[in-house]
């Protein structure tokens, strides 16, 4: 007796604009901010234009979109030498059931079979826009087009809500940092179902010249401290008032009800560095932190500044609550980046390794001037572990890491570099780096699957998840992807502009879904490649749900045993029916909360001539 297995994707909510059989996908042109250098790894075909004190560089090309099937997405398998008409289903509908249908997996069983073990390819994902930012207007204050056009990551608090920052926007438009009318950035709270609250707008406190004393333009990621409060940095401003001081960003603490405290302001002891490679003003403690903090196992906070310091190329620092800041290392800088063998301009958060030391990256410098991976101890002993790029080949093994390293469950580090790859057509890479210095490229982006990748996280299923902020026209609004630790790569979602443009790093919620922000996009988005070019929107917050995937089913003496993959904490309900077109699906037992990446259930009453099964996610 034959057996057929069918997996069909169903998503709640209306289809996105342009959906037919294939979804429209775009990717955002790669955008990078540099000081006064043009990155050779992004040079071919790139176009630079000046914006303020920075150069904004677009790496060559935009993404060619890979095909992504949506709507009815089936995979059929028939056992050999069997005869049976295929069971087809165009639509599954839910009726009078309190469980929201996010993703359905369907099994059709002719119950006299002996054994079936047919893994099914993962189908689509469920995508939801939760928030559209509204810039300097209520209710969703903020513009998320952040430092170097990168959106920051969310963090989930002890209360289950998500917290994050926007680079600009808010209800305070005072201050001399940036454009006066653009606001100084915000901190916000969002519930898992999308209820948004603006907690704080920077520039609430300012001096007589309009300088925000509470900081402006948060660029890095928020973190949740051991005390449950949130900690972060701003890139500009602060409350230094000494005669030899400037204000170059702050470290702050904020409670979940919005009470903000400035813990430290960068920019102390301003002096003129007469070194011929620098020949400019700098400070002893660094300035302009582009990254957030990490709290070490010792309870102290560690981070980086993108500039200044005794060497003028940025710093690594330790902040001890109640005691102050210690500069652990200062990167040398100057007019010739090929001289900075230890790196220059760190832009990402640090990661604490299993040895208790901290690991990080620099955007510039190293042997090939295309960035480095380094290690630093808590007392400041510094070691350069790896230099990106090959001299004369524009970094075809990756260049210019912008994102923090991820410490995997296997003890290795994983990361992303924003330019080049292992071919002349590379537009960023995903790599693995072992603690003994072995470097392996897991994936090279070629524009069809995205470009300009952001930081990675490891999902509860052990796979890595991330976003790519760019790609090729007309599919250039970015992607969400999954990659295994051995390099198997899958695009999960392609942004279209109105649903977001330029996604930032992801965070996995306690419900198993992934949450993130985009730097642009939303209802005001216009296609930059069309004649209707206009504003690009103010950014979005989104949710991605990875559906369960049936793995095996066995039928023995009338007992059907089912297994499927799921994310931890996803609540799954198995249902069955004897008629595929019936709207009367019956719950098989109670909902099951996944505790690991594989879930199982059994049906001891599988004695019908045929029986169909589906797994539904409860919301």
Instruction: Encode 90-138 in three state secondary structure.
Output: CCCCCCCCCCCCCCCEEEEEECCCCEECCCCCCCCCEEEEEEECCECCC
Cα distances (Å, whole numbers) of residue 241 to 144, 265, 267, 614: 30, 10, 10, 65
What is the spatial distance between Cα 350 and Cα 440, in angstroms, rounded to a whole number?
Answer: 20
Confidence of residue 149 (pLDDT cuts 50, 70, 90): low
What is the spatial distance between Cα 120 and Cα 146, in angstroms, rounded to a whole number?
Answer: 39
Confidence of residue 33 (pLDDT cuts 50, 70, 90): very low
The DSSP 8-state label assigned to residue 78 in this structure reads: B
pLDDT value at position 97?
34
Q: Is the pLDDT of residue 479 over 50?
A: yes
Q: Is the pLDDT of residue 518 over 80?
A: yes
| Closest among 404, 401, 402, 373 to 387, alpha carbons compared | 373
Confidence of residue 338 (pLDDT cuts 50, 70, 90): low
- Predicted confidence (pLDDT) per residue in 346-402, tens digit: 999 999 999 999 999 999 888 888 899 999 999 999 999 999 887 555 546 778 898
611 inside domain: yes
Contact 186, 202 (CB under 8 A): yes
Q: How many domains does the chain have?
A: 1
259 inside domain: no
Q: Is the pLDDT of residue 618 over 60?
A: yes
Q: Which conformational region is residue 280 in: left (phi greater than 0), alpha (psi within -120 to 50 degrees), or beta?
A: beta
pLDDT value at position 396?
60
What is the spatial distance between Cα 590 and Cα 568, in angstroms, rounded to a whole number?
Answer: 17
Q: Is the pLDDT of residue 279 over 50?
A: yes
Q: Is the pLDDT of residue 38 over 60?
A: no
Mean pLDDT, residues 310-327 taken together: 93
82 inside domain: yes
pLDDT value at position 619?
64
98 inside domain: yes
- Quote the domain boundaries for residue 602: 4-22+67-119+554-617
Q: Is the pLDDT of residue 104 over 90?
A: no
Q: Is the pLDDT of residue 54 over 90?
A: no
Q: Which residues face 157 on adjacent strands?
A: none
pLDDT value at position 288?
94
85 inside domain: yes
Contact 222, 230 (CB under 8 A): yes
389 inside domain: no
Confidence of residue 174 (pLDDT cuts 50, 70, 90): low
pTM (2 d.p.): 0.80
pLDDT value at position 458?
98
181 inside domain: no
Of the two residues 231 and 470, the one the predictor is more confident about is: 231
pLDDT value at position 72?
26
What is the spatial distance between Cα 103 and Cα 548, in angstroms, rounded to a whole number?
Answer: 7
Least confident interval from 6-10, 79-83, 259-263? 79-83
In terms of average pLDDT, the best of 63-77, 198-212, 263-277 is 198-212
pLDDT value at position 474?
63
pLDDT value at position 515?
98
Q: Is the pLDDT of residue 89 over 80?
A: no
In terms of average pLDDT, the best of 131-145, 217-231, 305-319, 526-540 is 217-231
pLDDT value at position 306?
93
Q: Is the pLDDT of residue 78 over 60?
A: no
Q: Is the pLDDT of residue 262 over 80?
A: yes
Q: What is the mean pLDDT of the chain?
A: 76
What is the spatial distance between Cα 331 and Cα 168, in angstroms, rounded to a whole number?
Answer: 28
The DSSP 8-state label assigned to residue 469 in this structure reads: E
Q: How far is CA 438 from the centre of its chain?
A: 25
Beta strand 540-545 pairing with 126-132: antiparallel
Of the two residues 15 and 499, the one the predictor is more confident about is: 499
What is the spatial distance between Cα 134 and Cα 540, in angstroms, rounded to a whole number?
Answer: 9
Contacts (Cβ under 8 Å, ≥6 apart) of 243: none
pLDDT value at position 326?
96
Confidence of residue 481 (pLDDT cuts 50, 70, 90): very high
105 inside domain: yes
- Predicted confidence (pLDDT) per residue in 189-237, tens digit: 999 999 999 999 999 988 877 788 999 999 999 999 999 999 999 999 9
In terms of average pLDDT, the best of 109-113, 190-194, 305-309, 426-430 is 190-194
Mean pLDDT, residues 227-252 taken together: 88
């Amino acid at each position: 007796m034959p057996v057929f297995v069918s997996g069909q994707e169903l998503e709640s909510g209306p289809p996105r604009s342009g959906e037919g059989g294939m979804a429209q996908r775009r990717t955002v042109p790669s955008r990078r901010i540099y000081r006064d250098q043009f990155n050779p790894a992004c040079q071919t075909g790139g176009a630079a234009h000046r914006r303020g004190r920075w150069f904004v560089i677009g790496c060559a090309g935009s993404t060619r979109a890979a095909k992504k099937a949506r709507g009815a997405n089936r995979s059929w398998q028939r056992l050999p030498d069997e005869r049976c008409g295929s069971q087809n289903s165009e639509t599954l509908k839910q009726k009078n059931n309190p469980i929201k249908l996010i993703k359905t997996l369907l099994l059709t069983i002719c119950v006299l079979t002996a054994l079936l073990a047919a893994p099914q390819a993962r189908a689509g994902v469920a995508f939801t826009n939760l928030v559209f930012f509204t810039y300097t207007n209520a209710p969703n204050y903020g513009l998320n087009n952040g430092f170097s056009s990168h959106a920051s990551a969310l963090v989930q608090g002890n209360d289950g809500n998500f917290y994050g920052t926007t680079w600009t926007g808010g209800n305070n438009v005072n201050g001399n940092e940036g454009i006066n009318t653009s606001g100084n950035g915000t901190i916000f709270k969002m519930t898992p179902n999308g209820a948004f609250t603006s907690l704080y707008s920077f520039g609430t406190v300012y001096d007589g010249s309009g300088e925000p004393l509470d900081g402006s333009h948060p660029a890095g990621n928020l973190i949740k401290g051991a005390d449950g409060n949130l900690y972060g940095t701003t890139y500009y401003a602060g409350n230094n008032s000494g005669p030899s001081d400037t204000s170059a960003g702050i470290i702050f603490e904020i409670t979940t009800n919005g009470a903000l405290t400035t813990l430290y302001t960068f920019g102390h002891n301003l002096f003129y560095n007469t070194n011929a490679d620098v020949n400019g003003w700098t400070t002893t403690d660094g300035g302009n932190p582009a990254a957030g903090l990490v709290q070490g196992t010792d309870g102290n906070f560690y981070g980086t500044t993108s500039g200044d310091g005794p060497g003028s190329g940025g710093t690594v620092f330790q902040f001890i609550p109640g005691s102050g800041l210690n500069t652990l290392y200062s990167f040398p800088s100057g007019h010739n980046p090929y001289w900075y063998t230890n790196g220059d301009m760190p832009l990402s958060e640090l990661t604490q390794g299993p040895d208790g030391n901290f690991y990080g990256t620099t955007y510039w410098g190293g042997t090939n001037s295309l960035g480095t991976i380094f290690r630093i101890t808590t007392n400041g002993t510094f070691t350069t572990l790896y230099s990106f790029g090959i001299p004369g080949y524009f970094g075809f093994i990756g260049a210019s890491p912008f994102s923090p390293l991820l410490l995997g469950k296997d003890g290795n580090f994983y990361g992303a570099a924003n330019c080049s790859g292992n071919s002349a057509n590379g537009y960023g890479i995903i790599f693995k780096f072992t603690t003994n210095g072995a470097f392996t490229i897991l994936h090279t982006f070629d524009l069809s699957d995205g470009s300009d990748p952001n930081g990675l996280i490891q999902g509860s299923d052990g796979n890595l998840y991330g976003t790519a902020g760019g790609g090729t026209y007309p599919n250039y609004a970015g992607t969400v992807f999954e990659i295994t630790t051995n390099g198997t790569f899958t695009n999960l979602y392609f942004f279209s502009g109105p649903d977001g443009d330029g996604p930032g790093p992801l965070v996995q919620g306690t419900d198993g879904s992934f949450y993130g922000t985009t730097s642009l996009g939303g209802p005001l988005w216009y296609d930059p490649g069309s004649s209707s070019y206009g504003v690009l929107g103010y950014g979005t917050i989104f949710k991605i749900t990875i559906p369960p995937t049936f793995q095996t089913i066995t039928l023995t003496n009338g007992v059907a045993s089912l297994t499927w993959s799921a994310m931890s904490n996803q609540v799954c309900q198995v249902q069955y029916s004897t008629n595929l077109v019936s709207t009367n699906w019956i719950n098989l037992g109670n909902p099951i909360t996944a505790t690991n990446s594989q879930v199982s259930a059994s049906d001891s009453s599988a004695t019908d001539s045929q029986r169909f099964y589906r797994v539904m996610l409860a919301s």
